[in-house]
Structure 1
Amino acid sequence: MDQFIINIAKQGDLGIALYTLITIVIASILSGIIGFEREFHGHAAGLRTHILVAIGASIIMTVSIYGFRYTDYSNRDPARLAAQVVSGIGFLGAGTIMQTGTNIKGLTTAATVWFCGGIGLACGCGFVIEAIIATLSAFVILVILRFIEKKTSKRFPKIILVVDGETPILKEALAAADKYGLTIRDISSQILKYRQKDCLKITVTMDMSSQAALTAYSDELRSQVSPFEIKLSTNH
């Protein structure tokens, strides 16, 4: 299949146009699978971001291979443009990383954005089979490891809030945790419909602490944030 697609690009300008269309479509589908997983779990970089990164990487790779065929650059190196894509996507991925105290969020999303850049590069140079294998492997890892992480984190208490999408909560959650001497292990969010409104489901995972401190923390969040719903879960 790889060789068939690469041979299309050897059929002149029309062949390169068709090759570009095929590789962009494949890159969009593969990156869309990863982007959907991120979008489904409410992460900032979702379907559109991952697809656009893959399309951009694919077209840049195609240009680096076939874009200079009418020039005298006999010593051109297609890998140079690819290297710039990898480093550029690194800066884009850094924008999805958020640090709150000792906790860091967004590393997985940054990795998937960077990964989709690699998928785009693979498609752009005609390595479609390899891109499909890598995408399926990454998707399985994302799904299975999320399941394992949920299982291992069940022993930690959680406070689950449903708030309006415009409600600031991060600052309040951190301040209240400091007030009661609690340590936040993780803060995650998920977009959902609540009473016909777009809301956020915020899950605050805490280190093991006394029931009294957790209850006081939950009450503090209730008064500070005024959530639609709040639940303290200590028995999983």
Structure 2
Amino acid sequence: MISDQDILIRLIVAALLGAVVGFERERTGQPAGLRTHIILVVGATLTMTLSINLPIEFKNLTPNGDPSRLAAQVISGIGFLGAGAIFRYGPSVKGLTTATSLWTMAIVGLVVGAGHYLSAVAATTVILLALVVLNYFERKFIDTYTSVQITVTADNRISVFDEVTETIKKKGKIIGTPSLEKNFKSEKMEVIYTVRLSPTISVEPLIDALGRIEGIRLVKLS
């Protein structure tokens, strides 16, 4: 059985590891920051210690007690917190990294609760490197790309939108599935594309190229 002193040590270690990742999230203005990560990891650690102690304490009542049952509920239950950290902003989805860090740090808390300090510290180090170092490379080499929404209104002909797709692909990359709306009275279709453009390509030439396609009635930049 884990002693109260060992539980206290594990909770302190968990709080420190949660604070390291939580501080990075707080510094970048994420919705789940320092306090959330500390409370989450400490809670997961406490759950794991309880999960280990209960079968030992009540072994006469539950000889087949499974220490992993409570821990499994932490992993599945953290999905609610993760979902709350994710939100959509225009063509982009924000909060995925924070949701992932919450889920992973919950597991780190379980690992600390089980007494595997080295594994927990190593995992936290990798997570922190991913958040800080890789964020630098993303901003330097990936975030230079811009995403725009282009709304195309055209005659209801497949060939028109095939040409629209080919024109966009020459200039950039279509992200996700285009949104389509059909007007049965006017026999026109409206399609919204989310397009990623490199920093060397301006959106104006793309708009002009789309406007020259036969059958195009309106091209609008959102």
Rounded to whole Å, the distance in 2 between the matches of 1:151 and 1:180 is: 32
Higher relative contact order (CA 8 A, sep 6+): 1
Does the aligned pair in 1 maintain the 2:55–2:67 contact within 8 Å? no
Residue 38 (structure 2) pairs with residue 51 (structure 1): yes
What's the counterpart of residue 21 of structure 2? 34
Residue 89 (structure 2) pairs with residue 89 (structure 1): no
Give the secondary structure class of the aligned counterpart of 1:77: coil
Instruction: Please list every run of 5 or more consecutive structure 1 residues that lacks an aligned counterpart in the other structure.
Output: 1-5, 10-15, 159-173, 186-205, 214-236
Does the aligned pair in 2 maintain the 1:93–1:109 contact within 8 Å? yes
Residue 101 (structure 2) pairs with residue 121 (structure 1): no
Instruction: Please list every run of 5 or more consecutive structure 2 residues that lacks an aligned counterpart in the other structure.
Output: 154-172, 176-195, 207-222
Give the secondary structure class of the aligned counterpart of 1:118: helix
Rounded to whole Å, the distance in 1 between the matches of 2:31 and 2:144 is: 27
What's the counterpart of residue 138 of structure 2? 149
1:153 shift after superposition = 3.0
1:130 shift after superposition = 0.7
CA RMSD of aligned residues (A): 3.0
1:211 shift after superposition = 6.3
1:17 shift after superposition = 1.1
Amino acid paired to 1:51: I
Rounded to whole Å, the distance in 1 between the matches of 2:41 and 2:7 is: 13
Give the secondary structure class of the aligned counterpart of 2:88: strand
Does the aligned pair in 2 maintain the 1:35–1:51 contact within 8 Å? yes
TM-score by length of 2: 0.65
TM-score by length of 1: 0.61
1:179 shift after superposition = 8.2
What's the counterpart of residue 70 of structure 1? 57
Give the secondary structure class of the aligned counterpart of 1:69: helix
Identify the match of residue 105 of structure 1 among 90, 94, 101. Answer: 94
Identify the match of residue 203 of structure 2 among 210, 213, 216. Answer: 210
Rounded to whole Å, the distance in 1 between the matches of 2:56 and 2:142 is: 55
Give the secondary structure class of the aligned counterpart of 2:57: coil
For these two proteins, the number of residue pairs brought into alignment is: 164
